[in-house]
Chains A and B, each alone.
Chain A
Amino acid sequence: EVQLVESGGGLVQPGRSMKLSCAASGFTFSNYGMAWVRQAPTKGLEWVATISYDGSSTYYRDSVKGRFTISRDNAKSTLYLQMNSLRSEDTATYYCTRGGGVGDYWGQGVMVTVSS
């Protein structure tokens, strides 16, 4: 059974950093591109970043470019999102998805709240 379990969220002050993790199981992690998608409270879904199966290619939405870094450890079957210089508008539930473009499996999400 495919499972994606996000962790690392919480409350963080503006300008600070936070790192999210997504532990994958039930499939060969190194065969798939992966992505992060977020959803601000009461808002719709927003794609954040994608990484290729081997980590050689990454893509970001403009609003997080230069602040967020998507990465992966295929030996640990884990996806990461390093978030620096956080802003209030980054407050959202962050979902890990399998598939760099179309997310055929999603995690339950982890909440990130950026507030002083």
Chain B
Amino acid sequence: DVQMTQSPYNLAASPGESVSINCKASKSISKYLAWYQQKPGKANKLLIYDGSTLQSGIPSRFSGSGSGTDFTLTIRSLEPEDFGLYYCQQHNEYPYTFGAGTKLELK
């Protein structure tokens, strides 16, 4: 199975700041990485797929980059609603696997 190592585990930031979350695959997954946001009481939200393609309706302050084994989710100018849990997922091969998650907290 492809292991997804996500970092950091916790991240504290203030509104207006920019942050980056990293995801490293144990083998090449080409461009096939997705990013999701999870918040209590809300359905999980797809942010980015295929490494860098912004899902429809997602603000442009979210961006994804990377290919092969190393990927990054960047959120520019954090808004209050951006705080929550973020997961990466490889969708290159079965079994699809997720990172352990990054908790983005308000500083």
Binding site for B on A (CB under 8 A): 4, 44-47, 50, 59, 61-62, 95, 97, 101-108
> Count the B residues whose beta carbon is within 8 Å of the partner chain — how many?
21
Q: Is A106 within 8 A of B44, CB to CB?
A: yes
Q: Is the CB of A95 within 8 A of B44?
A: yes
Contact check, A104 vs B99: say whether CB atoms are below 8 A apart. Answer: no
A102 in contact with B49 (CB, 8 Å): yes
Residues of chain A with a CB closer than 8 A to B34's CB: 102-103
Given A44-B87, A45-B87, A45-B89: A104 in contact with B55 (beta carbons within 8 A) = yes
Whole-angstrom distance between the alpha carbons of A101 and B98 in the complex?
12
B25 to chain A, nearest CB (A): 15
Q: Which residues of A contact B95 (CB under 8 A)?
A: 47, 59, 61-62
Chain A residue with minimal CB distance to B34? A102
Whether B46 pairs with A102 at a CB distance below 8 angstroms is yes
Query: Is A45 a contact partner of B98 (Cβ separation < 8 A)?
Result: yes
